A and B are shown apart, each in its own frame.
Chain A
Amino acid sequence: MKAGELMIRFENVSKIFNINGKESSVIHDISLNIKKKEIFGLVGETGSGKSTILRLMNGFIEPEKGEIFLMDKKLNKNTRHELVKDTSMIFQDFNLLGNLNVMDNVLLPTKLRNGNKKENNQKAKELLNFVGLADFQQSYIRTLSGGQKQRVAIARTLMTSPKIILCDEPTSALDDKMSYEVLKLLKDINDKFETTIVIVSHDISVIKTLCSRVAVIEEGRLLEVFSLKPKKIKPISYKEALISD
Protein backbone atom coordinates (compact mmCIF):
# COMPACT_ATOMS: atom_id res chain seq x y z
CA MET A 1 0.00 0.00 0.00
CA LYS A 2 1.28 3.48 -0.93
CA ALA A 3 2.44 5.93 1.74
CA GLY A 4 -0.39 8.18 2.83
CA GLU A 5 -3.09 5.65 1.94
CA LEU A 6 -3.28 4.23 5.43
CA MET A 7 -5.08 6.58 7.80
CA ILE A 8 -5.08 4.41 10.94
CA ARG A 9 -2.75 1.55 11.78
CA PHE A 10 -2.94 -0.59 14.92
CA GLU A 11 0.02 -2.87 15.61
CA ASN A 12 -0.56 -5.46 18.34
CA VAL A 13 -2.43 -3.00 20.55
CA SER A 14 -3.51 -4.03 24.04
CA LYS A 15 -5.24 -1.96 26.69
CA ILE A 16 -5.58 -2.65 30.40
CA PHE A 17 -7.94 -0.77 32.70
CA ASN A 18 -7.67 -0.60 36.46
CA ILE A 19 -11.17 -1.33 37.74
CA ASN A 20 -11.63 -1.13 41.53
CA GLY A 21 -7.91 -1.73 42.06
CA LYS A 22 -7.96 -4.81 39.82
CA GLU A 23 -6.27 -4.84 36.42
CA SER A 24 -8.56 -5.89 33.62
CA SER A 25 -7.40 -6.43 30.05
CA VAL A 26 -10.05 -4.95 27.73
CA ILE A 27 -8.25 -4.96 24.38
CA HIS A 28 -6.06 -7.91 23.37
CA ASP A 29 -3.37 -7.67 20.74
CA ILE A 30 -5.37 -5.95 18.00
CA SER A 31 -3.81 -5.17 14.62
CA LEU A 32 -5.79 -3.46 11.88
CA ASN A 33 -5.45 -1.01 9.01
CA ILE A 34 -7.99 1.59 7.93
CA LYS A 35 -7.55 3.13 4.51
CA LYS A 36 -8.17 6.62 3.17
CA LYS A 37 -11.80 7.46 2.17
CA GLU A 38 -12.98 4.23 3.79
CA ILE A 39 -16.06 3.90 5.97
CA PHE A 40 -14.93 1.30 8.47
CA GLY A 41 -17.23 -0.30 11.01
CA LEU A 42 -16.55 -1.76 14.42
CA VAL A 43 -19.28 -4.10 15.67
CA GLY A 44 -19.64 -6.15 18.77
CA GLU A 45 -21.70 -6.61 21.88
CA THR A 46 -21.95 -3.94 24.55
CA GLY A 47 -18.75 -4.03 26.58
CA SER A 48 -16.76 -5.78 23.85
CA GLY A 49 -14.26 -2.90 23.65
CA LYS A 50 -15.44 -1.07 20.48
CA SER A 51 -15.59 2.37 22.09
CA THR A 52 -12.22 1.78 23.78
CA ILE A 53 -10.71 1.12 20.34
CA LEU A 54 -12.20 4.41 19.09
CA ARG A 55 -10.67 6.30 22.03
CA LEU A 56 -7.31 4.65 21.37
CA MET A 57 -7.57 5.86 17.75
CA ASN A 58 -7.66 9.55 18.70
CA GLY A 59 -5.17 9.21 21.55
CA PHE A 60 -7.66 9.98 24.33
CA ILE A 61 -6.39 6.84 26.04
CA GLU A 62 -3.01 5.19 25.61
CA PRO A 63 -2.34 1.50 24.94
CA GLU A 64 -0.25 -0.51 27.38
CA LYS A 65 1.23 -2.52 24.53
CA GLY A 66 1.57 -2.03 20.80
CA GLU A 67 1.72 1.03 18.57
CA ILE A 68 -0.87 3.20 16.85
CA PHE A 69 -0.16 5.29 13.76
CA LEU A 70 -2.39 8.06 12.42
CA MET A 71 -1.58 9.14 8.88
CA ASP A 72 1.79 7.38 9.18
CA LYS A 73 2.71 9.31 12.34
CA LYS A 74 3.12 7.48 15.62
CA LEU A 75 0.51 8.42 18.20
CA ASN A 76 2.02 9.09 21.62
CA LYS A 77 1.92 11.63 24.46
CA ASN A 78 3.98 14.13 22.48
CA THR A 79 2.13 13.89 19.17
CA ARG A 80 -1.45 13.24 20.24
CA HIS A 81 -2.50 16.89 20.68
CA GLU A 82 -1.34 17.72 17.14
CA LEU A 83 -2.67 14.54 15.51
CA VAL A 84 -6.08 14.78 17.19
CA LYS A 85 -6.60 18.08 15.32
CA ASP A 86 -6.82 16.09 12.06
CA THR A 87 -9.56 13.91 13.53
CA SER A 88 -12.94 14.62 15.01
CA MET A 89 -15.50 12.64 16.94
CA ILE A 90 -19.26 12.24 16.93
CA PHE A 91 -20.71 11.02 20.19
CA GLN A 92 -23.78 8.97 21.08
CA ASP A 93 -25.10 11.75 23.34
CA PHE A 94 -24.03 14.55 20.97
CA ASN A 95 -21.90 16.27 23.69
CA LEU A 96 -22.91 19.78 22.67
CA LEU A 97 -22.51 22.73 25.02
CA GLY A 98 -25.96 23.63 26.31
CA ASN A 99 -25.00 27.20 27.18
CA LEU A 100 -23.94 27.97 23.60
CA ASN A 101 -26.27 28.43 20.67
CA VAL A 102 -26.05 26.31 17.51
CA MET A 103 -23.70 28.72 15.71
CA ASP A 104 -21.31 29.00 18.67
CA ASN A 105 -21.27 25.22 19.09
CA VAL A 106 -20.31 24.80 15.45
CA LEU A 107 -17.66 27.52 15.73
CA LEU A 108 -16.17 26.03 18.91
CA PRO A 109 -13.33 23.99 17.29
CA THR A 110 -12.16 27.06 15.36
CA LYS A 111 -11.95 29.08 18.59
CA LEU A 112 -9.36 26.55 19.76
CA ARG A 113 -7.22 27.24 16.70
CA ASN A 114 -5.93 30.39 15.03
CA GLY A 115 -8.03 31.35 12.04
CA ASN A 116 -9.90 34.04 10.20
CA LYS A 117 -13.09 34.86 12.10
CA LYS A 118 -14.98 36.02 9.03
CA GLU A 119 -14.05 32.92 7.02
CA ASN A 120 -14.95 30.68 9.95
CA ASN A 121 -18.37 32.32 10.29
CA GLN A 122 -18.97 31.85 6.57
CA LYS A 123 -17.91 28.20 6.74
CA ALA A 124 -20.14 27.57 9.78
CA LYS A 125 -23.12 29.01 7.90
CA GLU A 126 -22.36 26.82 4.87
CA LEU A 127 -22.06 23.71 7.05
CA LEU A 128 -25.30 24.45 8.87
CA ASN A 129 -26.88 24.76 5.45
CA PHE A 130 -25.27 21.43 4.45
CA VAL A 131 -26.75 19.66 7.48
CA GLY A 132 -30.13 21.35 6.94
CA LEU A 133 -30.07 23.67 9.97
CA ALA A 134 -29.57 27.04 8.31
CA ASP A 135 -32.58 28.47 10.14
CA PHE A 136 -31.40 27.34 13.59
CA GLN A 137 -28.18 29.37 13.97
CA GLN A 138 -29.34 31.26 17.06
CA SER A 139 -31.30 28.39 18.63
CA TYR A 140 -30.16 26.87 21.89
CA ILE A 141 -29.48 23.13 22.10
CA ARG A 142 -32.35 22.36 24.52
CA THR A 143 -34.84 23.45 21.86
CA LEU A 144 -33.62 20.94 19.24
CA SER A 145 -34.70 17.36 18.56
CA GLY A 146 -32.22 14.46 18.89
CA GLY A 147 -31.63 14.33 15.13
CA GLN A 148 -31.07 18.09 14.96
CA LYS A 149 -28.60 17.88 17.85
CA GLN A 150 -26.61 15.17 16.09
CA ARG A 151 -26.60 17.26 12.91
CA VAL A 152 -25.20 20.22 14.88
CA ALA A 153 -22.52 17.87 16.22
CA ILE A 154 -21.74 16.76 12.66
CA ALA A 155 -21.46 20.38 11.46
CA ARG A 156 -19.13 21.07 14.41
CA THR A 157 -17.08 18.04 13.42
CA LEU A 158 -16.71 19.30 9.85
CA MET A 159 -15.60 22.82 10.84
CA THR A 160 -11.95 21.80 10.95
CA SER A 161 -12.12 19.65 7.80
CA PRO A 162 -10.90 16.53 9.62
CA LYS A 163 -9.23 13.74 7.67
CA ILE A 164 -10.77 11.15 9.99
CA ILE A 165 -14.18 11.18 11.71
CA LEU A 166 -14.72 8.76 14.58
CA CYS A 167 -18.36 8.01 15.36
CA ASP A 168 -19.36 6.38 18.64
CA GLU A 169 -22.87 4.92 18.28
CA PRO A 170 -24.03 8.05 16.40
CA THR A 171 -27.60 6.85 15.91
CA SER A 172 -28.34 4.85 19.05
CA ALA A 173 -30.11 7.79 20.74
CA LEU A 174 -32.22 8.48 17.64
CA ASP A 175 -35.40 7.05 16.15
CA ASP A 176 -35.37 5.39 12.70
CA LYS A 177 -36.17 8.52 10.71
CA MET A 178 -33.50 10.57 12.43
CA SER A 179 -31.02 7.69 12.16
CA TYR A 180 -31.62 7.69 8.42
CA GLU A 181 -30.93 11.44 8.24
CA VAL A 182 -27.67 11.07 10.17
CA LEU A 183 -26.47 8.03 8.18
CA LYS A 184 -27.24 9.79 4.91
CA LEU A 185 -25.29 12.79 6.11
CA LEU A 186 -22.28 10.66 7.02
CA LYS A 187 -22.39 9.02 3.58
CA ASP A 188 -22.61 12.46 1.90
CA ILE A 189 -19.60 13.66 3.94
CA ASN A 190 -17.61 10.61 2.84
CA ASP A 191 -18.57 11.23 -0.81
CA LYS A 192 -18.11 15.01 -0.80
CA PHE A 193 -15.06 15.50 1.45
CA GLU A 194 -13.47 12.02 1.00
CA THR A 195 -13.20 11.77 4.79
CA THR A 196 -12.25 8.48 6.39
CA ILE A 197 -15.02 7.46 8.78
CA VAL A 198 -14.80 4.91 11.56
CA ILE A 199 -18.17 4.01 13.00
CA VAL A 200 -18.85 2.04 16.15
CA SER A 201 -22.26 0.49 16.48
CA HIS A 202 -23.99 -2.49 18.02
CA ASP A 203 -26.70 -2.02 15.37
CA ILE A 204 -25.85 -4.32 12.43
CA SER A 205 -28.20 -2.44 10.06
CA VAL A 206 -26.25 0.79 10.58
CA ILE A 207 -23.00 -0.98 9.75
CA LYS A 208 -24.47 -2.80 6.72
CA THR A 209 -25.89 0.46 5.40
CA LEU A 210 -22.71 2.50 5.57
CA CYS A 211 -19.53 0.47 5.81
CA SER A 212 -17.29 -0.97 3.13
CA ARG A 213 -15.36 -3.01 5.71
CA VAL A 214 -16.22 -4.07 9.21
CA ALA A 215 -14.28 -5.54 12.11
CA VAL A 216 -16.06 -7.80 14.57
CA ILE A 217 -14.89 -7.33 18.14
CA GLU A 218 -15.57 -9.92 20.83
CA GLU A 219 -14.33 -9.60 24.40
CA GLY A 220 -11.62 -7.17 23.31
CA ARG A 221 -10.33 -9.40 20.51
CA LEU A 222 -10.53 -8.80 16.78
CA LEU A 223 -12.50 -11.78 15.51
CA GLU A 224 -12.56 -11.06 11.78
CA VAL A 225 -12.61 -8.24 9.22
CA PHE A 226 -15.29 -8.51 6.52
CA SER A 227 -15.72 -6.58 3.29
CA LEU A 228 -19.27 -5.38 2.69
CA LYS A 229 -21.17 -3.90 -0.18
CA PRO A 230 -22.87 -0.84 1.33
CA LYS A 231 -26.61 -0.65 0.71
CA LYS A 232 -28.35 2.30 -0.83
CA ILE A 233 -29.56 4.47 2.02
CA LYS A 234 -33.28 5.03 1.84
CA PRO A 235 -35.81 6.28 4.35
CA ILE A 236 -38.14 3.71 5.76
CA SER A 237 -41.47 4.40 7.42
CA TYR A 238 -42.63 2.58 10.55
CA LYS A 239 -45.22 0.76 8.40
CA GLU A 240 -42.55 -0.44 5.94
CA ALA A 241 -40.29 -1.50 8.78
CA LEU A 242 -43.07 -3.52 10.37
CA ILE A 243 -44.11 -5.40 7.26
CA SER A 244 -40.59 -6.08 5.89
CA ASP A 245 -38.81 -9.38 6.70
Chain B
Amino acid sequence: MIDKYFETFDMYKEEILISLYETLDMMLTAMIISIIIGILLGFVLFITRSDGIYQNKSLYFITSGVLNIIRSIPYILFIIVIIPLNRMILGTGFGVDASKIPLSLIGIATFARFTEQDFLDVNKNIYETSYALGANTLQYFTHFLLKEARSGLVLSFTSTTISLLSYSTVMGIIGGGGLGYLAISEGYQNFNYNLMWIIIIIMVLIVHFIQTTGNLIAKKYDKR
Protein backbone atom coordinates (compact mmCIF):
# COMPACT_ATOMS: atom_id res chain seq x y z
CA MET B 1 0.00 0.00 0.00
CA ILE B 2 2.87 2.31 0.92
CA ASP B 3 4.36 1.62 -2.53
CA LYS B 4 1.41 3.41 -4.15
CA TYR B 5 2.30 6.56 -2.26
CA PHE B 6 5.95 6.32 -3.31
CA GLU B 7 4.88 5.82 -6.93
CA THR B 8 2.61 8.87 -6.74
CA PHE B 9 5.40 10.86 -5.13
CA ASP B 10 7.81 9.88 -7.92
CA MET B 11 5.24 10.76 -10.54
CA TYR B 12 4.48 14.21 -9.06
CA LYS B 13 7.93 14.96 -7.63
CA GLU B 14 8.52 17.91 -9.92
CA GLU B 15 5.05 19.44 -9.36
CA ILE B 16 5.42 18.99 -5.59
CA LEU B 17 8.82 20.72 -5.60
CA ILE B 18 7.52 23.61 -7.72
CA SER B 19 4.50 23.97 -5.43
CA LEU B 20 6.72 23.80 -2.35
CA TYR B 21 8.87 26.57 -3.82
CA GLU B 22 5.73 28.67 -4.51
CA THR B 23 4.50 28.15 -0.95
CA LEU B 24 7.89 29.06 0.54
CA ASP B 25 8.20 32.07 -1.78
CA MET B 26 4.79 33.42 -0.71
CA MET B 27 5.42 32.69 2.94
CA LEU B 28 8.93 34.13 3.15
CA THR B 29 7.82 37.50 1.75
CA ALA B 30 4.75 37.56 3.99
CA MET B 31 6.86 36.57 7.04
CA ILE B 32 9.41 39.36 6.47
CA ILE B 33 6.71 42.01 5.95
CA SER B 34 4.64 40.69 8.89
CA ILE B 35 7.52 40.72 11.36
CA ILE B 36 8.59 44.29 10.51
CA ILE B 37 5.21 46.00 10.18
CA GLY B 38 3.42 43.73 12.68
CA ILE B 39 5.88 44.47 15.47
CA LEU B 40 5.67 48.23 14.82
CA LEU B 41 1.86 48.18 14.78
CA GLY B 42 1.89 46.05 17.92
CA PHE B 43 4.04 48.71 19.58
CA VAL B 44 1.66 51.46 18.40
CA LEU B 45 -1.29 49.52 19.90
CA PHE B 46 0.65 48.95 23.13
CA ILE B 47 1.65 52.57 23.70
CA THR B 48 -1.62 54.19 22.56
CA ARG B 49 -4.05 51.99 24.53
CA SER B 50 -5.89 53.48 27.51
CA ASP B 51 -3.12 52.57 29.99
CA GLY B 52 -0.25 53.09 27.53
CA ILE B 53 2.54 55.64 27.75
CA TYR B 54 1.17 57.71 24.83
CA GLN B 55 -2.58 57.24 25.28
CA ASN B 56 -4.35 58.13 22.04
CA LYS B 57 -7.91 56.84 21.78
CA SER B 58 -8.36 57.79 18.10
CA LEU B 59 -5.12 56.20 16.90
CA TYR B 60 -5.75 53.05 18.94
CA PHE B 61 -9.34 52.81 17.71
CA ILE B 62 -8.34 53.20 14.04
CA THR B 63 -5.34 50.81 14.19
CA SER B 64 -7.21 48.24 16.21
CA GLY B 65 -10.29 48.55 13.98
CA VAL B 66 -8.37 48.04 10.73
CA LEU B 67 -6.56 44.97 12.15
CA ASN B 68 -9.87 43.53 13.38
CA ILE B 69 -11.52 44.05 9.98
CA ILE B 70 -8.65 42.23 8.20
CA ARG B 71 -8.89 39.33 10.63
CA SER B 72 -12.65 39.10 10.63
CA ILE B 73 -13.32 38.83 6.88
CA PRO B 74 -13.33 35.15 5.84
CA TYR B 75 -9.89 34.76 4.26
CA ILE B 76 -11.11 33.36 0.96
CA LEU B 77 -13.33 36.46 0.54
CA PHE B 78 -10.55 38.74 1.76
CA ILE B 79 -8.34 37.48 -1.11
CA ILE B 80 -11.06 38.45 -3.58
CA VAL B 81 -11.85 41.90 -2.15
CA ILE B 82 -8.15 42.74 -2.09
CA ILE B 83 -7.69 42.06 -5.85
CA PRO B 84 -8.04 45.79 -6.78
CA LEU B 85 -5.24 46.58 -4.30
CA ASN B 86 -3.05 43.90 -5.91
CA ARG B 87 -3.70 45.54 -9.29
CA MET B 88 -2.89 48.99 -7.90
CA ILE B 89 0.42 47.85 -6.42
CA LEU B 90 1.62 45.21 -8.90
CA GLY B 91 -0.42 45.92 -12.01
CA THR B 92 -1.98 42.46 -11.81
CA GLY B 93 -4.49 40.87 -9.48
CA PHE B 94 -3.35 37.29 -10.02
CA GLY B 95 -0.25 35.09 -9.64
CA VAL B 96 2.25 34.19 -6.94
CA ASP B 97 3.43 37.79 -6.44
CA ALA B 98 -0.15 39.09 -6.13
CA SER B 99 -0.81 36.38 -3.53
CA LYS B 100 1.87 37.85 -1.30
CA ILE B 101 -0.23 40.97 -0.64
CA PRO B 102 -3.28 39.42 1.11
CA LEU B 103 -0.97 36.92 2.83
CA SER B 104 1.22 39.75 4.15
CA LEU B 105 -1.83 41.74 5.31
CA ILE B 106 -3.27 38.84 7.31
CA GLY B 107 0.24 38.15 8.69
CA ILE B 108 0.61 41.77 9.81
CA ALA B 109 -2.84 41.80 11.46
CA THR B 110 -2.23 38.51 13.27
CA PHE B 111 1.31 39.29 14.43
CA ALA B 112 0.47 42.88 15.51
CA ARG B 113 -2.20 41.53 17.90
CA PHE B 114 0.17 38.87 19.25
CA THR B 115 2.88 41.51 19.71
CA GLU B 116 0.55 43.81 21.65
CA GLN B 117 -0.24 40.92 24.00
CA ASP B 118 3.45 39.99 24.39
CA PHE B 119 4.30 43.58 25.33
CA LEU B 120 1.43 43.62 27.83
CA ASP B 121 2.97 40.57 29.51
CA VAL B 122 6.22 42.46 30.19
CA ASN B 123 6.64 43.87 33.71
CA LYS B 124 4.96 47.30 33.74
CA ASN B 125 7.81 48.80 35.79
CA ILE B 126 10.20 48.38 32.88
CA TYR B 127 9.07 51.70 31.36
CA GLU B 128 9.85 53.61 34.53
CA THR B 129 13.21 51.82 34.77
CA SER B 130 14.06 52.78 31.19
CA TYR B 131 13.16 56.42 31.89
CA ALA B 132 15.18 56.47 35.13
CA LEU B 133 18.21 55.06 33.29
CA GLY B 134 17.96 57.80 30.65
CA ALA B 135 16.29 55.97 27.74
CA ASN B 136 14.15 57.72 25.14
CA THR B 137 11.06 56.06 23.63
CA LEU B 138 13.00 54.34 20.83
CA GLN B 139 15.57 53.03 23.31
CA TYR B 140 12.75 51.85 25.58
CA PHE B 141 11.43 49.83 22.63
CA THR B 142 14.77 48.39 21.47
CA HIS B 143 16.73 47.97 24.73
CA PHE B 144 13.96 47.11 27.18
CA LEU B 145 10.65 46.02 25.67
CA LEU B 146 12.03 43.85 22.85
CA LYS B 147 14.62 42.29 25.15
CA GLU B 148 12.07 41.31 27.79
CA ALA B 149 9.34 40.22 25.34
CA ARG B 150 11.63 38.34 22.97
CA SER B 151 10.77 34.73 23.86
CA GLY B 152 7.03 35.52 23.70
CA LEU B 153 7.55 37.26 20.37
CA VAL B 154 9.38 34.22 18.97
CA LEU B 155 6.48 31.95 19.94
CA SER B 156 3.96 34.44 18.54
CA PHE B 157 5.87 34.66 15.27
CA THR B 158 5.97 30.86 15.14
CA SER B 159 2.16 30.75 15.44
CA THR B 160 1.82 33.50 12.82
CA THR B 161 4.07 31.56 10.43
CA ILE B 162 1.98 28.42 10.85
CA SER B 163 -1.18 30.44 10.22
CA LEU B 164 0.43 31.87 7.06
CA LEU B 165 1.13 28.32 5.85
CA SER B 166 -2.51 27.49 6.42
CA TYR B 167 -3.72 30.67 4.67
CA SER B 168 -1.34 30.00 1.73
CA THR B 169 -3.26 26.83 0.85
CA VAL B 170 -6.17 28.82 -0.62
CA MET B 171 -4.06 31.22 -2.67
CA GLY B 172 -4.83 29.12 -5.75
CA ILE B 173 -8.04 31.15 -6.07
CA ILE B 174 -5.97 34.02 -7.53
CA GLY B 175 -3.37 31.80 -9.20
CA GLY B 176 -1.00 31.79 -6.27
CA GLY B 177 -0.29 28.08 -6.63
CA GLY B 178 1.50 26.38 -3.78
CA LEU B 179 1.17 23.02 -2.06
CA GLY B 180 -2.43 23.58 -0.98
CA TYR B 181 -3.54 24.37 -4.49
CA LEU B 182 -1.81 21.23 -5.85
CA ALA B 183 -3.49 19.09 -3.17
CA ILE B 184 -6.94 20.52 -3.99
CA SER B 185 -6.74 20.75 -7.80
CA GLU B 186 -4.67 17.67 -8.62
CA GLY B 187 -5.40 15.65 -5.50
CA TYR B 188 -8.99 16.21 -4.39
CA GLN B 189 -10.66 17.42 -7.60
CA ASN B 190 -8.85 14.85 -9.82
CA PHE B 191 -9.59 12.03 -7.35
CA ASN B 192 -5.83 11.56 -6.78
CA TYR B 193 -6.19 11.06 -3.03
CA ASN B 194 -2.71 9.60 -2.67
CA LEU B 195 -1.23 12.91 -3.86
CA MET B 196 -3.55 14.78 -1.49
CA TRP B 197 -2.36 12.71 1.48
CA ILE B 198 1.31 13.09 0.48
CA ILE B 199 0.89 16.88 0.51
CA ILE B 200 -0.97 16.75 3.84
CA ILE B 201 1.95 14.79 5.33
CA ILE B 202 4.47 17.28 3.88
CA MET B 203 2.50 20.14 5.45
CA VAL B 204 2.29 18.36 8.81
CA LEU B 205 6.07 17.94 8.71
CA ILE B 206 6.59 21.61 7.83
CA VAL B 207 4.34 22.72 10.71
CA HIS B 208 6.14 20.36 13.09
CA PHE B 209 9.52 21.73 11.95
CA ILE B 210 8.39 25.37 12.36
CA GLN B 211 6.89 24.77 15.83
CA THR B 212 9.90 22.80 17.10
CA THR B 213 12.34 25.41 15.79
CA GLY B 214 10.24 28.22 17.35
CA ASN B 215 10.08 26.43 20.70
CA LEU B 216 13.85 25.85 20.72
CA ILE B 217 14.66 29.48 19.88
CA ALA B 218 12.15 30.80 22.46
CA LYS B 219 13.64 28.53 25.12
CA LYS B 220 17.16 29.65 24.26
CA TYR B 221 16.16 33.33 24.49
CA ASP B 222 14.16 33.04 27.70
CA LYS B 223 16.52 33.65 30.62
CA ARG B 224 13.92 34.94 33.07
Contact = CB atoms under 8 A, between A and B. Distances in A.
A93 B224 contact: no
A53 B17 CA distance: 66
A67 B151 CA distance: 43
A91 B132 CA distance: 10
B147 A100 contact: yes
- Most B-side CB within 10 Å, residue of A100, A141, A166: A100
Contacts, number: 66
A100 B144 CA distance: 10
Interface residues of B, number: 22
B223 A81 contact: no
Contact of B133 (A55, A99, A109, A140): A109
A87 B150 contact: no
A47 interface: no
A111 B221 CA distance: 20
A58 B132 CA distance: 7
B125 interface: yes
Contact of B125 (A95, A160, A166): A95
B150 to A, nearest CB: 6
Nearest to A60: B131
Contacts of B221: 99
Interface in A106-120: 108-109, 111-113
A60 B132 contact: yes
Contacts of B222: 99
A88 B147 CA distance: 21
A142 B133 contact: no
Interface in B172-224: 221-224
Contact of A156 (B133, B143, B144): B133
Interface string A110-141: 01110000000000000000000000000011
A91 B133 CA distance: 12
A97 interface: yes
Interface string A43-61: 0000000000001001010
A188 to B, nearest CB: 21
Nearest to A82: B134
Contacts of A81: 134, 136
15 contacts: A89-B129, A89-B132, A95-B123, A95-B129, A98-B223, A99-B222, A100-B147, A101-B223, A111-B143, A112-B133, A112-B143, A140-B223, A141-B223, A142-B223, A160-B134
